[in-house]
Structure 1
Amino acid sequence: MDRLSGGDEDALGDLYERTSAKLFGICLRILHDREEAEDVLQDVYLSVWRRADRFDADRASPITWLATIARNRSIDRLRQIGRRGGDRPMNEAEDVADSSPDAFARLAQGDDGRRLATCLRELDERTQASILAAFYGGLTYEALAERLSVPLGTIKSRIRRGLIKLKGCLSQ
């Protein structure tokens, strides 16, 4: 990330080579459309190129930071698609299998991940499941509320309170 923030184009190529399959999987899982996922992935790397100097290793690992950007950009694109009224079929999602660990599994392998897993276990089951579905499962708050048959405000409040508790636990 230091090389990247210094404008090293080779560093961007190395980063892309190491992370693109995982990030594409995140985008595709959220968008259910290969072309949209490819567009978002390109946008993610352009954003990373421009904002590499904002990466803070004390707050997250590089893959966690990248996965968060990919998730957020994918959700933004999903909302754009919805506003355009397009209903995208999930025609190619099954063809993309990624056998490597997902973002949560990779995060859990490190010290930060073990701390996060411990703090997540301290949350009540509904809050824990909601946070995992939203942040690691790629569900939007709206989709999660629909899946659980609860009001959108309830999901937002549950996740917000859970994130506050996680932040407190992780800062200890």
Structure 2
Amino acid sequence: MDADTSRALLSRAISRVAQRDHDALKYVYRHTSAKLFGVCLRILNDREEAEDVLQDVYLTVWNRADRFDQEKASPITWLVSIARNRSIDRLRKRGGRVIADVEEAEALADGAPLASTLLEDEDDRRRLEGCIDQLDPRHAGALRTAFFEGVTYDALAQALKVPLGTMKSWIRRSLISLRGCLEA
């Protein structure tokens, strides 16, 4: 899928968000959250604050999607400006100074895969979820938390009240089981 098609799909999704379509908001989030998080993080230089601001960004998108005009800006430019403004507002509240321009935000690498890649990988994702569901529920939960939420093994071990070595073993055995399931 080329950039024009991706832009058109994202524009349509934002239009559907304006009509209170939850699935459209999920689509917008999946296809833009990595880039917008990068914008927030670069401005705020604090992961937790950037996550909070990112939540505010999507709340703003939900409430103001009807204001998006694809004739005035591309969808990603509109979203980046919201992320930038929310981040600057947060930075000003804590007394910091702004160090990045919106032009720099546009140039940030977007770590998110293209929409076409996401569509192609949907079957793989379902297969992976099926394999994870076959794991012991505690191990599956730990694996999801570690890899999908970025929580450290140490933090997981403390949260589940197990030794760190046990947590590492759970994750390692789970990964081996997943590899076997996915290769079958």
TM-score, with structure 2 as normaliser? 0.47
Which has the larger Rg? 2
